[in-house]
Structure 1
Amino acid sequence: MGAQLRVYRQKIKSAQTTKKITRAMELISASRIQKALARVSASTPYSRAITRAVSAVATYSNVEHVLTTEPEKIDRAAIVIFASDRGLAGAFNSQVLRESEELATLLRSQGKDVTYFLIGRRAVGYFTFRKRASERTWIGGTDAPQFETAQEISEALLESFLRDASDGGVDEIHVVYNRYVSMMTQTPEVVRLLPLEVVEGVEEPGENAILPLYEFEPGVEEVLDSLLPVYIESRIFNAMLQSAASKHAATQKAMKSASDNADKLITTYTRLSNNARQAEITQQISEIVGGADALSSAKN
């Protein structure tokens, strides 16, 4: 009985230690989430404005640009996966990796070769463990993304997109990341980055509507050449910020759940420890009473 009591006390102490760690990580994530959300809020309007500008140029001009024109045949596609450098975030990394696998399956079913660009140690570790190749990888800084990293990623994507598929380039680029919805919900998002597919902020004109007249100075191609790199940088950086905010929210949720589970374990093992202690006391009292009865019977 004494050995069982020691086991329960050891488990209570272990659960208390675990709770201290998970509670500390929960508070750290709670302190970081507000800053991450502020960066997302500051980045989103700029990203939308750039997207509207690119959409306007692409919609109201007749110039065929390589970054906005749908190719006749797509032989090779790239998937950019935004994961995190650290774990302990619930399903944050698994759901974005699962979404990328489903997208890759869909692209391969359409006869396209798939290559990967990986952001975050968890994505790199996932591919390394399975001995799968990737085009480029970036690790470090996923908790607090820097714009310089987004520029580096954008340059690599543009260089690969402008290169011919026969020379190792790609014909289209998809990004997969976790979009922050609320503290309880972070959903995986799939967006085709290039060629420009979704026209945001530009309404379809009616049948009798007169299209607006735009004059571009310099020419349309020069405007697109200047706007599109900025557009890609802003979308990549916004995806990085969304992913960082989602990761902090997922970590806070996971650590709160772990702390609550630790509380339940402490309560359960405390009750079992009390039961074991009570049984031990009862046994000791029974032994004392039994010994006293034996002595009293011997005297008689």
Structure 2
Amino acid sequence: MMPYQTRWKRLLNLLKHQLCGNLIMGASREIRQKIGTIKSTQKITRAMQMVAASKMRKAQDRMNAARPYARKILDVIAHLANAHPEYQHPFMEVRDISRAGYIVISTDRGLCGALNVNVMRDVVKELKDWEQKKVQTGLCLVGSKADLFFRRYHLNVMAKAMHIGDAVGVKDLIGAVKVMTDAYRKREIDALFIASNTFVNTMVQRPTIQQLLPIASTATEFKTRVWDYIYEPNAKDLLQGLLT
């Protein structure tokens, strides 16, 4: 006859082994479920990465196709300005700056590292410099992130363009940009700058602030050169057509 204590010890040992086995089986099942979930997430992430890479390539192609055109337009404007020096388009009139405008380009979504922060940080620095010089400022914000960032500063926001999407066209921006160019024409601002990122490669985008108006600074690069072009109908009309 087995002693009473021995039987209880064996029973407890059996219960312990069974409990440990159940725990191990439960843990193994949970681990397998988590592994399956991670694999599914990996598939979704990989698909999203492929879509994003395709969109980026298309955006790069559009950008590379537009860059030479933009450079050449600036060259033509500078040539025309020198060809007709007695005529000065309002967009080429240099004035003392008492009010400055900025077009700030940002994204509508996040998860892009310091892409937006770097540009906005540089803009804030310039706005503080203008404030010290007693110069008023106005902003045109392109992208939801710029709107969200500058909302806390309670600045003079003159125009906005948000939720544009991936395929950006002139029609998406012309309204907001025209507000700023009209403000320059009406002397509500005396200089207009554009703040954006200059694409270097997929890992490097350099924050840049460039003067958009007046365009006279671009034309001065060509004053030392002699251009012998024949313009039809004439340089003045062509200049008005390009800048209007």
Q: TM-score range by the shorter chain?
A: 0.7 to 0.9
Q: 1:188 — aligned with what? A: 207
- Deviation of the 1:154 alpha carbon: 3.4
Distance of 1:203 and 1:171 partners within structure 2: 23
Q: Is 1:52 matched with 2:82? A: no
Q: Is 1:25 matched with 2:48? A: yes
Cα contact 2:115–2:197 (8 A) shared by 1: yes
Match of 2:136 among 101, 110, 113: 113
Match of 1:77 among 94, 100, 103: 100
Cα contact 1:118–1:136 (8 A) shared by 2: yes
SS of alignment partner, residue 58 of structure 2: helix
Name the % identity: 25
Q: Which runs of 5+ in 1 are unaligned?
A: 230-300
Query: Which range moved further: 146-155 or 114-123?
Result: 146-155
* Letter in structure 2 aligned against 1:183: T
Distance of 1:16 and 1:106 partners within structure 2: 51
Distance of 2:143 and 2:119 partners within structure 1: 12
- Deviation of the 1:37 alpha carbon: 1.0
CA spacing shift, 1:151–1:173, aligned 2, 3 Å: same
Q: 2:145 — aligned with what? A: 122
Question: For the aligned residues, what is the CA RMSD?
Answer: 3.0
TM-score using structure 2 length: 0.76
Q: Which runs of 5+ in 2 are unaligned?
A: 1-19
CA spacing shift, 1:175–1:103, aligned 2, 3 Å: same
- Deviation of the 1:146 alpha carbon: 1.2
* Letter in structure 2 aligned against 1:187: R
Aligned residues: 218
- Deviation of the 1:117 alpha carbon: 0.3
- Deviation of the 1:198 alpha carbon: 4.2
* Letter in structure 1 aligned against 2:55: R
Bigger RCO (CA 8 Å, 6+ sep): 1
* Letter in structure 2 aligned against 1:223: L
* Letter in structure 1 aligned against 2:104: I
| 1:19-38 CA distance string (max 9 Å, x none) | 45543332221111111111
| 1:34-53 CA distance string (max 9 Å, x none) | 11111112211211121111
